[in-house]
Amino acid sequence: MTETSDTARGWAIELAACLATGVLLGVIGPFGSYLNDVLIIRVAYWVIVFLSCGVALGLVVRILAPRARQAGVPTWAWAPAMVLAIAFPLAGFTRLVAVAFWPAIRERVGVVDWYGQTLLICLVYLALHAVVARRTGRPEPQRGETGSGDPRILRHLPPRLGSDLLCLSMEDHYVRLHTAGGSVLVLMSLSRALRELGDIDGLQVHRSWWVARHAVTGVIEDGRKLRLRLKGGLEAPVSRASVARLREAGWLDAR
């Protein structure tokens, strides 16, 4: 199940970014569109184009990404093919919109060139999507729980993994829950996962990692970088901003 508030917030920020980008492109007039009409018409065209592409690509990414992740398919293996495929119908739609605004554009810009321009628009959207996903999924740099009591996070663990939670790691819109018996992906933000930890003793050691105190078996120094060695062979990165907190809590001994 999706986390409604986070999903709604992500969509709102994403579409607002598409709207702002559409306005900016209307002012700039890329691909020669600055010659087509007055400013207000150009802005209207680019806003329609970017919002429609944002909705279409946003839906496809949200459908494909979790399925690919569950199947173990890396992003680089499916994202390029997805962009190349969805650019075809989007190119057709945006061309119809452009012709409705400026009928003569049908003869001025060929189909191949139009497809190439649509690919660029798709790439701009994906960059916006990546930025929004990172920002909306970014947790507060503090201890991994806001209250005490029942660790509701354990309810997301299947019985086969047990209840010995070692750490949490963020993966896009998902959080991976690691135990001594393995791991499972759960569709939620890391900030929500931290709120569900209850009274489990641990610390957030990195923007995308929380670690239970009992899971730490050692510290790995790699130049100026630190990693925590955990039970089960796991390693968690430590951000520079977290070093002082971990040292104060006694996790790093005299380091």
Q: Give tens-digit pLDDT for 155-200.
A: 899 889 998 999 999 998 899 999 989 999 998 888 889 999 988 9
Q: What is the pLDDT of residue 69?
A: 66
Which residues pair with residue 155 across a beta bridge?
none
Predicted confidence band of residue 215 (pLDDT cuts 50, 70, 90) = very high
Residue-wise DSSP of 27-68: HH-GGGGGGTS-HHHHHHHHHHHHHHHHHHHHHHHHHHHHHH
| Rounded Cα–Cα distance for residues 243 and 204 (Å) | 11
| Rounded Cα–Cα distance for residues 23 and 40 (Å) | 9
Q: What is the pLDDT of residue 135?
A: 60
Residue 147: both structure tokens together: 């209250």
Domains and CATH numbers, the chain: 4-136 (no CATH), 152-248 (2.40.50.1020)
| Rounded Cα–Cα distance for residues 44 and 40 (Å) | 6
- Phi/psi region, residue 185 (left: phi>0; alpha: psi -120 to 50; beta: rest), is beta
Query: Long-range contact list for 73-80, CB < 8 A, 24+ apart?
Result: 79/126
Q: What is the pLDDT of residue 74?
A: 75
Indicate the helix (H) or strand (E) that contains 187: strand 182-187
Which residues pair with residue 206 across a beta bridge?
209
Burial (CB count <10 Å: 0-12, 13-18, 19+), residue 107: exposed
| Rounded Cα–Cα distance for residues 159 and 212 (Å) | 19
- The pLDDT tens digits for 107-165 are 888 889 999 999 998 888 888 777 776 665 444 434 443 444 678 899 899 889 998 99
| Rounded Cα–Cα distance for residues 176 and 190 (Å) | 9
Q: What is the pLDDT of residue 216?
A: 93
Q: What is the pLDDT of residue 139?
A: 41
Burial (CB count <10 Å: 0-12, 13-18, 19+), residue 142: exposed
- The pLDDT tens digits for 12-51 are 888 888 899 889 988 988 887 777 778 899 999 999 998 9
Phi/psi of residue 237, nearest 5 degrees: -70, 150
Indicate the helix (H) or strand (E) that contains 222: strand 216-222
| Rounded Cα–Cα distance for residues 21 and 126 (Å) | 13
